[in-house]
Structure 1
Amino acid sequence: MPRLSLLGPFSIERDGPVVLRNKKAQALVAYLAMAPGVVHARERLATLLWPDSSEEAARQSLRQCVSALRRELADLPLSVDHDLLGFEAGRIATDVDEFKAALIDPSLSNLRRAAALYRGDLLEGLNARSDLFDEWLLGERTRLRSAAISALHALLRELQGAGAREEAIAVALRLLAIDPLQEDVDRVLMRLYFEQGQTALALRQYKRCEAILRQELNVEPDQNTKALYRELLRHRTRPRAVDEPATLSQPGRAFDKPLRQRINICLAPDGVRIAYALAGTGPPLVKAANWLNHLEFDFESPVWRHWIEAFTHDHTFVRYDERGTGLSDWDVFDISFDAFVRDLETVVDAAGLERFPLLGLSQGCAISIAYAVKHPERVSHLVLYGGYARGWAHQDDPAELARRNALSTLILEGWGQENPVFRQIFTSLFIPDANPEQTRWFNDLQRITTSPQNAHRLSRIFGDIDVRALLKDVNVPTLVLHARNDARVPFTQGQELAAGINGARFVPLESGNHVLLSTEPAWPVFLREVKAFLTSIK
């Protein structure tokens, strides 16, 4: 008996695959096979498949198509008379019929069978060049897709109940492939990843959910999804015993934290959404964005949490995610140094700040310098840590230039991989003295915070930074700090910054970390110097 596969691309099997290349013939066979035992008027079939031809020409095309089918597929059970055409009941099998039969008794085995049969939309890729046929096809596709989604949801529930996480993850991914706007499935997938100990993948799934909702519906994830995301972030900070099961609360549960932040969205002049956060109370302190930030992930991170706690003690600490990263828009046309400066302008205006100290880290130092030169009346103090005036593309060391170019190129291949080996290179440059937990967080931060394409673009732009000509125009009190053994930005770069800014004070720190860690002796020294600087000048 011939068997037709209609879910997904059209195919026929009869003791092996049979090639039927003519698209009109495929459309005719599929249409008849969807209702075996039913005969159709030739006039109706001719109009359905050749609507733009005259009545006689359409009937002639249908006759030729049927004759070709009977020559190529002699055992095709066509029931033919002068005016009617159809397939004989019980003499042809289709995956559509098998799919529907499996759904009559939705046991676990039948649900698995239905999932395997649904290879894709009905007649995927078929173009019969007929609006009438396409209208029929759309209706049938919609009904079958809806049935498949319901079956996959039922299968997902069964697999979760049976503890079959790997299979459940595969089913959840299939559901999102069919319809990516199923936020409830995103939540299930986040929980499944977490239960497998893959919290980074769970957090990454939230970012994918957030991006598709913004792109397709211009909305944010709902409160249940956001609450789950925040809970996942909190679990990343708490080491778990080897035999302790991974558990999450039910959606909607409230959580209390001694330190809270308020996240807002503002629009840059080019329409890009920039996310910024305020935490703490007191006079403002603004931190320019650096490589890489994520307002929510940083808030729970053992790499950045102590920075936030320290600066919220006496200040309203203002942070934001750079365009192309974190909670800010990722799909951005203009990622450039000038755009970064405009984003800082946008954030401080949105926060309603008139005059404030400005903290720059890494490439955020150059952005802070450009802002301070452009708006000296608004910057009361300038604090620069681990910064540089000229990016790696302007260095005089050919070996270093070659190494940086190679790393930038490799970002495209290695950044998005599940294996953190490539990102570990960057982690080792930023925080070589990190403990395993801090290392794991920073590895995950990079992958969660931006895409490989944006990471590559950012790397190139940071390499092109050159604000040496602006240093002489900085007319605000400035404190420059730099780690002596910083492997990411050489110590001499910090010295160059301080030497170029009139009256700047330079403080060397005994550390090898580009991001100071809470456990190292340089951290309290850094805090003491910065807080003394901010209170000494009014």
Structure 2
Amino acid sequence: MTKPLFTMQTIGPFEVRDMDGVVPLPPSRKTKALLAYLLLAERKHSRQSLCELFWDNTADPLASLRWSLTKLRQLLKADGATIIHADRESVWLDNSRIAIDKDPLNLVANEGGVAEEHADKVWKSTIGVPLEGCELPNHGDFMLWVEAYRQDYARLRAGIAKQFARDDSLSWQTRDKWAERWLRFSPYSAGAAVTAYQNKFYAAGRPAAQGFAKKLTKSFNEAGIQPPDFVIDENAVEDIPRASLIAPAEQQIRFVQGEDGVSIAWASVGDPGNPPLVKAANWLNHLELDWDAPIWSPLFKELSRSHRLLRYDERGCGLSDWDVEDISFDSFVKDLEQVVDAAGLDRFPLLGISQGAAVSIRYAVLNPDRVSHLILFGGYDCGWRHTATAKAVIEREAVMVLTKVGWGMDNPAYRHVFSRTFMPDANAEELDWFDEFQRLTTSSDNAVRFLDAFSTIDVRDDLAKIRCPTLVVHSREDLRIPFATGRKLAASIPGAQLAGLDSKNHLLLGREKASAQFVQLVREFLAKG
């Protein structure tokens, strides 16, 4: 196969590249639009039709066409090959020496048996608005052609997304990702909406699916379209291959309803005869998804070997209710109270990670007879609104705006604001998993509400009141919450023990040595009685 001389980017800003990089196109928008048209409308074009399409109101349209063709010929030369051809009557482009960025997308759509991983890479590399920068607002016929090309692109992507959203050989999380993509290109398709709802139910749980259906119903109603029925036959779950379900058999997931009616999902795992260990919720939780995560799953599973481990999903995320009125620090503490009461625990050690440390601190002060030991990892005693400079406040609030806008997008750049600082040592697979995990675990609205609630946390006055043995563990190079914060926390708690881990990660990766060190520290601390 002859190697292409040029690569043309038709998705996003229109560009031409050769072996040396981007080829500078003439500043004339019409010349650029002419090249795009010759490239994509693969046939011979009469000079007269091109003049009518681009220069219908020009004094000498043929001269204008000749000027544009001359400029393009000068640029599109390589190895003596001629790319643009013309005779007295017609103009055409030799596509045999040109690669187009949309070609891999066409192959995914038209070839059977394409691996999902490959399709996902192609999908991410072809995101954008086709023929950006080629618009000619005063040329109606040309703009009709541009719009038709963009619609073909949308239909192509919708078809690919539909294919993988309904592929029962894939995991529910993967199918959920493709279903949401399908829905973006077919927002009022009943089939896309129902498929997305069903995949969301099995990928992220009932609360996430119910909140999703609520938004879809609103969208359909606002467009004046009858929304479909969002119904799940939960008995049919038994007919689904166990390999495609997420919830592990060893976990027992239950629900407790708080005083405000919010349903909180909690899970216990491990031998009921083992001593309990309660983990407070933190950013973000999903009882099913994080149990088999490539990040903290080994840590959880190792702790459950020696303890009956209790975890729960914070209100507004995971399997707990998403549509809630109150997302605040006080509500987080109440949720912890509800879970340990539902589990029938009288006295237990309490593990708090990140902002879960502050929740644990407040609970331990309010219930000194129930907390036997306090373990705080990556914790802090006050949110940034209490200590940030005016410049830092502006930066933090800008992040909240970005979160609101970009949380649910295919492009993970917005969620990378968190994943890159939470886990700087994570590899590409781990970052991809965490990006997708965040998207599945809560909505953009709730993500912003969480960030706002975390910013106002203040348990500084509680620290001196803690009476139980306390272990403060912190990664020495934590980029999210500096080690100095952990050291200050330990110094403010009577008799607290401080331990540093050789890690940069705020959330420990299951594969790193620091994860095993953390488990060992916890076991030794709890064994002291």
CA 1:533–1:226 in 2, change beyond 3 Å: closer, same or farther? farther
Amino acid at match of 1:486: D
Deviation per residue, 1:84-116 (Å, 9 max, x gap): xxxxxxxxxxxxxxxxxxxxxxxxxxxxxxxxx
Deviation per residue, 1:246-273 (Å, 9 max, x gap): xxxxxxxxx9x6x610110100111100
Say yes or no: does 1:388 pair with 2:380.
yes
Say yes or no: does 1:294 pair with 2:279.
no
Residues in 2 aligned to 1:206 and 1:349: alpha-carbon distance in whole angstroms: 23
Residues in 1 aligned to 2:166 and 2:298: alpha-carbon distance in whole angstroms: 38
Q: 1:465 aligns with which of 434, 449, 457?
A: 457
Pairwise CA distance, 1:209:
3.2
Pairwise CA distance, 1:495:
1.2
Residues in 2 aligned to 1:492 and 1:283: alpha-carbon distance in whole angstroms: 32
Quick check: 2:262–2:315 contact (8 Å CA) kept in 1? yes
- Per the normalisation by structure 1, the TM-score is 0.58
Q: 2:258 aligns with which of 268, 283, 300?
A: 268
Amino acid at match of 1:260: E
Q: Structure 1: state its 5+ residue gaps.
A: 1-155, 191-199, 235-254
Q: 2:491 aligns with which of 472, 478, 499?
A: 499
Amino acid at match of 1:280: G
Deviation per residue, 1:270-300 (Å, 9 max, x gap): 1100000111111110000000000111012
Say yes or no: does 1:174 pair with 2:185.
no
Quick check: 2:208–2:322 contact (8 Å CA) kept in 1? no
Residues in 1 aligned to 2:485 and 2:241: alpha-carbon distance in whole angstroms: 38
Residues in 1 aligned to 2:416 and 2:450: alpha-carbon distance in whole angstroms: 18
Residues in 1 aligned to 2:300 and 2:376: alpha-carbon distance in whole angstroms: 16
Amino acid at match of 2:463: L
| Aligned ranges 1:328-339 → 2 under 5 Å | 328-339=320-331
Residues in 1 aligned to 2:288 and 2:516: alpha-carbon distance in whole angstroms: 25
CA 1:481–1:398 in 2, change beyond 3 Å: closer, same or farther? farther
SS class of match (2:491): helix
Quick check: 2:384–2:455 contact (8 Å CA) kept in 1? yes
Say yes or no: does 1:525 pair with 2:517.
yes
Counterpart position of 2:127: none
Residues in 2 aligned to 1:284 and 1:273: alpha-carbon distance in whole angstroms: 23
Residues in 2 aligned to 1:354 and 1:299: alpha-carbon distance in whole angstroms: 26
Counterpart position of 1:126: none
Pairwise CA distance, 1:203:
3.3
Quick check: 1:160–1:168 contact (8 Å CA) kept in 2? no
Q: How many residues align?
A: 342
SS class of match (1:506): strand
Residues in 2 aligned to 1:364 and 1:438: alpha-carbon distance in whole angstroms: 22
Amino acid at match of 1:224: A
Residues in 2 aligned to 1:515 and 1:265: alpha-carbon distance in whole angstroms: 26
Quick check: 1:323–1:332 contact (8 Å CA) kept in 2? yes
Quick check: 1:213–1:221 contact (8 Å CA) kept in 2? no
Residues in 1 aligned to 2:459 and 2:232: alpha-carbon distance in whole angstroms: 37
Amino acid at match of 1:262: Q
Amino acid at match of 2:353: L
Amino acid at match of 1:535: A
| Aligned ranges 1:132-171 → 2 under 5 Å | none
Amino acid at match of 1:274: I
Residues in 2 aligned to 1:366 and 1:160: alpha-carbon distance in whole angstroms: 43
Quick check: 2:266–2:310 contact (8 Å CA) kept in 1? yes
Quick check: 1:432–1:513 contact (8 Å CA) kept in 2? yes
Deviation per residue, 1:390-440 (Å, 9 max, x gap): 111122444433322221221101111121111122110101111222111
SS class of match (2:375): strand
Amino acid at match of 2:519: L
Counterpart position of 1:411: 403
Residues in 2 aligned to 1:230 and 1:273: alpha-carbon distance in whole angstroms: 26
Deviation per residue, 1:428-483 (Å, 9 max, x gap): 01011112221111101111111111000110110110100000101111000011
CA 1:226–1:330 in 2, change beyond 3 Å: closer, same or farther? farther
Residues in 2 aligned to 1:445 and 1:260: alpha-carbon distance in whole angstroms: 21
Counterpart position of 1:318: 310
Pairwise CA distance, 1:492:
1.5
Counterpart position of 2:392: 400
Say yes or no: does 1:283 pair with 2:275.
yes
Q: Structure 2: state its 5+ residue gaps.
A: 1-161, 168-177, 218-228
Amino acid at match of 1:203: A
Residues in 1 aligned to 2:391 and 2:213: alpha-carbon distance in whole angstroms: 44
* Bigger Cα displacement from structure 2, 379-388 vs 210-219: 210-219
Counterpart position of 1:209: 209
SS class of match (2:189): helix
Counterpart position of 1:355: 347
Counterpart position of 1:511: 503
| Aligned ranges 1:174-253 → 2 under 5 Å | 174-175=189-190, 185=195, 190=199, 203=203, 209-211=209-211, 222-225=234-237, 231-232=243-244
Counterpart position of 1:446: 438
| Aligned ranges 1:9-24 → 2 under 5 Å | none
Q: 1:484 aligns with which of 458, 472, 476?
A: 476
CA 1:432–1:203 in 2, change beyond 3 Å: closer, same or farther? same
CA 1:290–1:464 in 2, change beyond 3 Å: closer, same or farther? same
Q: CA RMSD in A?
A: 3.5
Residues in 2 aligned to 1:206 and 1:342: alpha-carbon distance in whole angstroms: 22
Residues in 2 aligned to 1:272 and 1:457: alpha-carbon distance in whole angstroms: 16
Say yes or no: does 1:534 pair with 2:511.
no
